[in-house]
């Protein structure tokens, strides 16, 4: 057996004269589970694309299975057993699960006529391998983000892979699904298949990987056995600074009139009898397994879905929220789980995205946009949230995940919303950006804004919420106040499986 499956030697890559990778070397052995860690823009994605043949290095060598490639093409990488699951899944949203899973097999066999029986058999075996059950005839575009991720993983495992590169594969998965994925990775290891695992979730990095490589600003700054690291040391190497994990302290009171009251709210076949209060300055968390109803609850509070029972009360007055417009008028903002398809106009400029929610407020008497006023607002929020971009005219698509999330946040901050509902607020966001987002949320709370964080990222929930509600099968089954920790929440989650 060869000593190294993949060897990257002294690779350099520049874009417009700026180093994306600077003298990077990496070696991956058969059956190895390695994690690649680093903030957005550290060079992780560039290295993945070079190994996959999508991007060519300016200098250095790429050796796959002992073969030196002067010009590695994607088809060469595939033939060498390299499979990549990119962060955007690279799925066909207009095709069914069956078609997405089996299309490559049909093409490889050179079939001119489709065999639906063979396709379904292929799709079923792929999903069975990772122990999930997704309707085969469902269109991928209609699936949840979590199920899209699972379909992408299943498709990668169909091929004769020797190395599977997973770029943030657990971003939207629940604990059950993450456990299943880790079991798959362990099974792959036993078969000699290597995994290069990219993640911002440091606990996962420590749980699944055997070796760890850390990038910062295009350079490899640390590498070794995973047992040599802890979360604090990984964070330090990634960011170059020590980050405090202080818990959020609610300085208000629960004795006055709530900013938001949800009274026995329900939606058929989604959730029922949900009641809670949100006070000014509070950050409350809502967590639960996939199917708990938390996302449907968020969409109902924001008027994207209609409630079938119960009441919503703001500042002591019952309100009817039957549309997004009515939710916005009451001061509610919603930051969705999937910012790419639900939170941003990707092809529009960063500036256009920031002012999208306040167009009526920046019109002149003649009903035209006051561009001078708009430019001032855009500049303020880019500076305030430290959105890394050379120009506000660049499309939102050009930003990293953390900066895209800041643009979504800026949109609602510009609207002066009083109630923020955040569904997975730091999904796919690096450690540094996550800290800045959490800091901003705490500042909002200190100014009397009420915040609801819906997340299954337990460290995020524990560090930033003064109360946490656990949902299961559409109902709130437990409330934690003040003194709670990750172990308690994880134990509660385990009991609901």
Shared-domain flag, residues 268 and 197: no
CA distance 177 to 185: 12
Pick the more confident residue, 458 or 65.
65
Shared-domain flag, residues 229 and 302: no
Q: Which residues lie below 8 Å from residue 37, measured CB to CB, with a gap of 6+?
A: 44, 198, 199, 200, 202, 205, 212, 213, 214, 215, 234, 237, 238
What percentage of the chain has pLDDT greater than the value 70?
Answer: 96
**pLDDT for 207 beyond 70:** yes
CA distance 268 to 249: 36
Tokens of 404: 């895209």
Given a contact cutoff of 8 angstroms between Cβ atoms, the answer to whether 497 and 473 are in contact is no
Adjacent-strand bridge partners of 197: 35, 166
Shared-domain flag, residues 269 and 191: no
SS3 189: helix
**pLDDT for 106 beyond 80:** no
CA distance 419 to 301: 10
Rg for the chain (alpha carbons), in Å?
24
Adjacent-strand bridge partners of 21: 13
Give residue 9's pLDDT.
Answer: 96
pLDDT bucket at 203, cuts 50 / 70 / 90: confident
Is residue 252 in some structural domain? no
**pLDDT for 401 beyond 80:** no
How far is Cα of residue 204 from the mean position of the Cα atoms in its chain? 14
> What is the arrangement of strands in the sheet containing 260-267, beginning at the earlier edge strand?
271-278, 260-267, 309-314, 317-319
Shared-domain flag, residues 365 and 224: no
pLDDT bucket at 434, cuts 50 / 70 / 90: confident
Shared-domain flag, residues 207 and 277: no
Where do the DSSP E strands lie in 217-364? 219-225, 260-267, 271-278, 283-288, 309-314, 317-319, 332-335
**pLDDT for 1 beyond 60:** no
**pLDDT for 272 beyond 90:** yes
- Give how many domains the chain has, as a whole number: 2
CA distance 472 to 290: 9
Shared-domain flag, residues 485 and 345: yes
Longest dimension (CA), the chain: 75
Shared-domain flag, residues 272 and 408: yes
Pick the more confident residue, 194 or 175.
194
Shared-domain flag, residues 365 and 437: yes
Give residue 250's pLDDT.
Answer: 87
Shared-domain flag, residues 309 and 368: yes
Mean residue pLDDT across the chain: 88
Q: Which domain holds residue 114?
A: 6-239
Among candidate residues 239, 270, 303, the one where a domain is terminated: 239
Is residue 212 in some structural domain? yes
- Helices in 320-370 by DSSP H: which ranges? 324-329, 350-354
| CA-closest candidate to residue 352, choices 421, 305, 407, 283 | 407
Among candidate residues 239, 273, 296, the one where a domain is terminated: 239
Give residue 147's pLDDT.
Answer: 85
Task: Give the least confident one: 102-116, 292-306, 326-340, 443-457.
Answer: 102-116
CB atoms within 10 A of CB 330: 19
Give residue 110's pLDDT.
Answer: 67
Is residue 250 in some structural domain? no
Adjacent-strand bridge partners of 450: 419
pLDDT, tens digit, 9 for 90 and up, residues 233-268: 998 998 887 766 678 888 877 778 999 999 999 999
Is residue 247 in some structural domain? no
Is residue 214 in some structural domain? yes
Among candidate residues 210, 239, 268, the one where a domain is terminated: 239
Where do the DSSP E strands lie in 367-492? 419-423, 450-454, 467-472, 475-481
**pLDDT for 275 beyond 70:** yes
Pick the more confident residue, 381 or 158.
381
CA angle at residue 126 from 123 to 127, to 5 degrees? Answer: 90
Is residue 249 in some structural domain? no
Shared-domain flag, residues 66 and 191: yes
**pLDDT for 63 beyond 70:** yes
Is residue 255 in some structural domain? no
CA distance 266 to 200: 35
Give residue 394's pLDDT.
Answer: 92
Give residue 108's pLDDT.
Answer: 63
Shared-domain flag, residues 198 and 282: no
Give residue 2's pLDDT.
Answer: 62
Is residue 1 in some structural domain? no
Q: Distance from first CA to last CA of the chain, Å, rounded?
A: 41
Pick the more confident residue, 426 or 395.
395
Shared-domain flag, residues 169 and 285: no
The domain that holds 282 is classified in CATH as 3.40.50.300
CA distance 45 to 28: 17
pTM confidence score = 0.70
Given a contact cutoff of 8 angstroms between Cβ atoms, the answer to whether 468 and 461 are in contact is yes
Residue carrying the six token digits 């910012």:
339
């Amino acid at each position: 057996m060869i000593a190294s499956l993949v060897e990257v030697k002294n690779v350099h890559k520049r874009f417009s004269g700026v180093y994306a990778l600077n003298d990077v070397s990496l070696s991956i052995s058969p059956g190895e589970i390695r994690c690649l860690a680093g903030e957005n823009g550290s060079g992780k994605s560039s290295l993945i694309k070079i190994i996959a043949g999508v991007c060519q290095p300016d200098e250095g060598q790429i050796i796959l299975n002992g073969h030196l490639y002067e010009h590695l093409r994607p088809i060469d990488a595939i033939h060498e057993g390299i499979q990549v699951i990119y962060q955007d899944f690279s799925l066909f949203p207009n095709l069914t699960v069956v078609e997405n899973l089996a299309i490559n097999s049909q093409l490889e066999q050179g079939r001119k006529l489709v065999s639906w029986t063979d396709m379904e058999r292929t799709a079923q075996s792929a999903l069975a391998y990772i122990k999930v059950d997704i309707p085969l005839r469902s269109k991928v575009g209609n699936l949840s983000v979590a199920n899209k991720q699972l379909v992408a993983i299943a498709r990668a495992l169909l091929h004769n892979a020797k190395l599977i590169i997973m770029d943030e594969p657990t971003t939207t998965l629940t604990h059950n699904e993450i456990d299943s994925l880790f079991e798959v990775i362990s099974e792959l290891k036993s078969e000699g298949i290597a995994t290069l695992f990219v993640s911002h979730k440091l606990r996962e990095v420590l749980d699944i990987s055997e070796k760890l490589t850390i990038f910062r600003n295009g350079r490899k700054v640390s590498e070794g056995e995973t047992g040599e690291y802890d979360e604090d040391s990984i964070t330090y190497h990634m960011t170059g600074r020590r980050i405090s994990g202080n818990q959020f302290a609610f300085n208000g009171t629960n004795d006055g009139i709530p900013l938001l009251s949800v009274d026995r709210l329900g939606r058929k076949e989604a959730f029922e009898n949900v009641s809670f209060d949100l006070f000014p300055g509070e950050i409350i968390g809502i967590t639960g397994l996939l199917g708990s109803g938390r996302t449907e609850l968020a969409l109902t509070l924001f008027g994207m879905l209609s409630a079938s029972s119960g009441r919503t009360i703001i500042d002591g007055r019952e309100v009817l929220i039957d549309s997004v417009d009515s939710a916005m008028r009451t001061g509610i903002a919603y930051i969705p789980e999937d910012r790419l398809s639900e939170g941003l106009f990707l092809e529009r400029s960063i500036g256009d995205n920031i002012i999208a929610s306040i167009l009526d407020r920046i019109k002149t008497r003649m009903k035209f946009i006051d561009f001078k006023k708009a430019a001032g607002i855009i500049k303020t929020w880019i500076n305030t949230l430290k959105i890394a971009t050379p120009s506000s005219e660049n499309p939102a698509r050009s930003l990293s995940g953390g900066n895209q999330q800041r643009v979504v946040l800026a949109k609602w901050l510009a609207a002066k919303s009083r109630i923020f509902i955040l569904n997975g607020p730091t999904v796919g966001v690096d450690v540094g950006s996550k800290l800045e987002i959490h800091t901003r949320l705490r500042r909002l709370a200190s100014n009397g804004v009420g915040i609801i964080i819906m997340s299954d990222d337990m460290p995020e929930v524990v560090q930033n919420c003064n109360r946490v509600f656990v949902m299961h099968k559409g109902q709130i089954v437990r409330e934690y106040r003040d003194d709670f920790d990750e172990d308690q929440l994880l134990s509660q989650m385990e009991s609901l499986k």
